[in-house]
Structure 1
Amino acid sequence: MNNSKAYSVTEATRKLENYCAYQERCHKDVLEKLRTMRMIPEAIDQIVSHLIQENYLNEERFAKSFARGKFSIKKWGKNRIINELKQRQISRFNIKTALAEINEETYHKTLSELANKRLAQIHETNLQKRRKKLADYLLYRGWESNLVYEKLKELI
């Protein structure tokens, strides 16, 4: 984006409506975008409240969409989703609401599929190293340690 262009509040508002309509955004993304557009704080406040009132910007909807997407597409565990949402300054309430979007049965099934698939790719013969590699992989993806260690006992 060309930062030398000056935007009127109306232009910036339209631009941000499109930005939010294209995909769910969190408040932090919108604020950063407005800052790169060199909008003054008063204009930023005005535009953000417009986006909220017109339902372009909805933190709960963002959190739910984010959690569903990262779980189903990237196969992230709840810990990783929580940390990523916290980095985006999403409230604890909205994080809890977002995690409720993930079906518990599907969650455990996904962990099993992911663990089995990864285990097939690990060509380590030493059992301890094999266990560690699988555990590291699953923990990095944000799966809860108690679930990871139960899965290790079951598989290796």
Structure 2
Amino acid sequence: MNDISDREPMTIGALARAAGVNVETIRFYQRKGLMPEPDRPLGSIRRYSGDELGRIRFIKSAQRLGFSLDEVADLLELEDGTHCQQAREQGRKKLADVRARIADLKRIETVLADLVARCSTTRGRVRCPLIDALHEAWPAARI
């Protein structure tokens, strides 16, 4: 991979290709205030640098870790490296959220496994236990 600081200024299309996103994603990030929109030289097109490419990669990395775009905006305000305590707190909150979602998914897995197992043991003209439980909202009470 080339050092992004050595790259020539890029058009928005070239930036999108380098970042692995589409042009509309970049424009969306600009509208949301996550990325600056460079000046347009008189009679020319906007040019983007390695800084913007780095910013897009930062945004995408944060999203892959589950941060929302609003949370990404908060992290971008802390990116100068002097706000480690605040960044750690953001990470701690996200970790707690991920752990809560994992616990929810484990409960859902347990309920579904039980319902699927009950479906396997049902014979004859009895209603399907899975469908019946969903009609009764049974899983919601146990999740």
- Give the structure-1-normalised TM-score: 0.28
Q: Computing the radius of gyration over CA atoms, which structure comes out larger, 1 or 2?
A: 2
Between Structure 1 and Structure 2, the one with more helix by share is 1
TM-score (norm 2): 0.30
Q: Greater relative contact order: 1 or 2 (C-alpha under 8 angstroms, separation 6 or more)?
A: 1
